[in-house]
Amino acid sequence: MEGLVSMKTAPGISFQSIPSPNQRPNFFLRRSMDLQHRRFHFPSIRAQQSGTIFPRKEDEEDSLKVKEWEVGMLQNEVSASQGIRIRRRPPSGPPLHYVGPFEFRLQNEGNTPRNILEEIVWHKDVEVSQMKEKKPLLSLKKVIENSPPTRDFVGALKAAHLQTGLPGLIAEVKKASPSRGILRENFDPVEIARAYEKGGAACLSVLTDEKYFKGSFENLEAIRNAGVKCPLLCKEFVIDAWQMYYARIKGADAILLIAAVLPDLDIRYMIKICKMLGLAALVEVHDEREMDRVLGIEGIELIGINNRNLETFEVDISNTKKLLEGERGQMIRKKDIIVVGESGLFTPDDVAYVQEAGVKAVLVGESIVKQSDPGKGISGLFGKDISL
Ligand SMILES: O=C(O)c1ccccc1NCC(=O)[C@H](O)[C@H](O)COP(=O)(O)O
């Protein structure tokens, strides 16, 4: 659209006059023309501008960025076709609209995350690409070759359930959350982990996201190195297999995969990587559609039903019951999958409710981490001492 006159009107909105209405290509055609233009010509234009024949490093970097953007857009399209509303990356550049003979741009429209989960994922995308540059996958693989074996996360949950007759507890080391803010001011992850273990937790969940949960991979590593025996779940927003390798070297025994973020193909691929790395995968769903997708994937041993809608923060523990009713529940039993009830569990009645619905494990953060002695918080949650 070179040569068009751009007129600024209100802040954030600019108008461009169009030579004639019948010369106006539709938005999608323009987008794909733009993509092709960039794919095939962008580096050489830069090379021409710089007066060089061979592409310069900057041209190659530009070209890589364009390719990454294209992959992100493709991922968004695949995700949308599976009912996934979370876009993996912001659509680059503001979309164009046509009104009468005018074309106008709304600055940033489309590049604003639609909800907190999308915001987290977009931030994670940038964070992970920076971390990958510092610690390439090959270097992580070398460290893993000399790492101690992982512990049996699923086995620990099953054993706790058999021993107590109650759901096995995954106790979460959680300092803060986007929905609740700071949960515990004096936050010593190792002290909390030890208290949970003493209080009867079968496994621990360690939040590693820094920006939104004030967690870290250092916390995970410190808990592992402190001699805590409970298997550890790395509670991360996984969007790239690199994170799984990193979690493994930092001491994780299991990793979270969120179906609201990951398309089926990613989940299948990541389950295979988990098997290679000796990690258990907790695949998290929060509605019927996600549950049906996940039940169609082979090799899943653990499904988490999140009672918190990660887009709206609404918590409703009847979600667990709803997703375990009828044929879904039957298929889960047939496949011998362990279901974990996650979020919003505060009382023995809550635990009894989700157990009645069919869970064999629960994942709990807020209600126990807020207690002055988080270990005693566990007895409060179950209505009895489960450490024996
Ligand atoms: O906890 C949040 O506010 C939150 C917001 C956005 C994405 C994820 C979020 N939480 C992760 C979890 O699923 C919970 O930490 C976990 O299930 C424990 O929940 P709770 O017992 O209610 O602390």
Domain-embedded: residue 90: no
| 301 in active site | no
Going from the Cα of 287 to the center of ligand 1, the distance in angstroms, rounded, reads 16
Query: Percent of the chain at pLDDT above 90?
Result: 69
Helix (H) or strand (E) holding 284: strand 280-285
226 phi-psi bin (left φ>0, alpha ψ -120 to 50, beta other): alpha
Q: Looking at residue 92, what is its pLDDT?
A: 59
Residue at token pair 């995969």:
257
Structural domain for 356, as ranges = 137-382
Residue at token pair 């920076």:
130
Q: Looking at residue 23, what is its pLDDT?
A: 36
Q: What is the value of ipTM here, to two decimals?
A: 0.98
Q: Looking at residue 69, what is its pLDDT?
A: 66
Average pLDDT, the chain: 84
- For atom 6 of ligand 1, the residue with the nearest CA is 310
Q: Looking at residue 181, what is its pLDDT?
A: 96
Q: How many CA atoms lie within 13 A of 240 on its CB side?
A: 21
| 81 in active site | no
- For atom 22 of ligand 1, the residue with the nearest CA is 343
What is the C-alpha to C-alpha distance for residues 343 and 132, in angstroms, rounded to an integer? 31
Query: Percent of the chain at pLDDT above 70?
Result: 77
Average pLDDT over residues 116-129: 94
Q: What does DSSP say about strands 203-207 and 168-173: parallel, antiparallel, or unpaired?
A: parallel
What is the C-alpha to C-alpha distance for residues 237 and 341, in angstroms, rounded to an integer? 18
Average pLDDT over residues 286-290: 96
- pLDDT for residue 19 is more than 50: no
Domain-embedded: residue 328: yes
- For atom 10 of ligand 1, the residue with the nearest CA is 177
How many other CB atoms are found less than 10 A from the CB of residue 25?
Answer: 11
Average pLDDT over residues 171-192: 97
Which residues are CB-contacts of 4 (< 8 A; sequence separation ≥ 6)? 16, 17, 18, 19, 103
**Model confidence over 197-244: pLDDT tens digits?**
999 999 999 999 999 999 999 999 999 999 999 999 999 999 999 999
Domain-embedded: residue 171: yes
Residue at token pair 């001011």:
185
Q: Are 203 and 235 in contact (CB under 8 A)?
A: no
- For atom 1 of ligand 1, the residue with the nearest CA is 177
Q: Are 57 and 71 in contact (CB under 8 A)?
A: no
| 284 in active site | yes
| 6 in active site | no
Over the range 309-341, which residues count as b (16 or more CB within 10 Å of their CB) and which as e?
A: bbeeeeeebebbbebbeeebeeebeeeebbbbb
Q: Looking at residue 64, what is its pLDDT?
A: 65
What is the C-alpha to C-alpha distance for residues 235 and 217, in angstroms, rounded to an integer? 10
CB-count exposure of residue 73 (10 Å: 0-12, 13-18, 19+): middle
Strand ranges in 18-156 using DSSP code E only, listed in sequence order: 96-99, 102-106
What is the C-alpha to C-alpha distance for residues 82 and 388, in angstroms, rounded to an integer? 45
Of the candidate ranges 75-84, 335-344, 350-359, the one whose mean pLDDT is the lowest: 75-84
**Model confidence over 25-40: pLDDT tens digits?**
333 333 333 333 333 3
Single out the catalytic residue among 79, 205, 219, 306.
306
For helices 137-145 and 241-249, angle between their N-to-C axes, nearest 10 degrees: 40
Q: Are 340 and 303 in contact (CB under 8 A)?
A: yes
Chain centroid, CA 239 distance in Å: 6
Q: Looking at residue 7, what is its pLDDT?
A: 35
- With a 6 Å cutoff on the Cβ, whether 308 touches ligand 1 is yes
Residue at token pair 């709206």:
312
Q: Looking at residue 86, what is its pLDDT?
A: 85
**Model confidence over 34-60: pLDDT tens digits?**
333 333 333 344 444 444 455 566 666
Backbone φ and ψ for 6, nearest 5 degrees, come out as -100, 125
Domain-embedded: residue 39: no
pTM above 0.95, yes or no: no
**Domains held by the chain: number:** 1
Q: Looking at residue 1, what is its pLDDT?
A: 33
- With a 6 Å cutoff on the Cβ, whether 103 touches ligand 1 is no
Backbone φ and ψ for 83, nearest 5 degrees, come out as 80, 10
- pLDDT for residue 133 is more than 70: yes
Closest ligand 1 atom number to CA of residue 180 = 3
Domain-embedded: residue 24: no
The pair of structure tokens assigned to 284 is 């998290």
Which CATH number is 366's domain given? Answer: 3.20.20.70
Q: Looking at residue 104, what is its pLDDT?
A: 52
The pair of structure tokens assigned to 52 is 């060089």
Domain-embedded: residue 308: yes
Closest ligand 1 atom number to CA of residue 174 = 15
| 306 in active site | yes
Domain-embedded: residue 9: no
Q: Looking at residue 89, what is its pLDDT?
A: 80
- pLDDT for residue 150 is more than 70: yes
Q: Looking at residue 49, what is its pLDDT?
A: 47
- With a 6 Å cutoff on the Cβ, whether 172 touches ligand 1 is yes
What is the C-alpha to C-alpha distance for residues 166 and 306, in angstroms, rounded to an integer? 19
- pLDDT for residue 6 is more than 80: no
Q: Are 26 and 116 in contact (CB under 8 A)?
A: no
Residue at token pair 């989960």:
117
The pair of structure tokens assigned to 376 is 């005693």
Domain-embedded: residue 266: yes
At position 194, the amino acid (one-letter code) is R
| 343 in active site | yes
Can you name the residues that pair with 96 across neighbouring β-strands? 105
Q: Looking at residue 81, what is its pLDDT?
A: 79
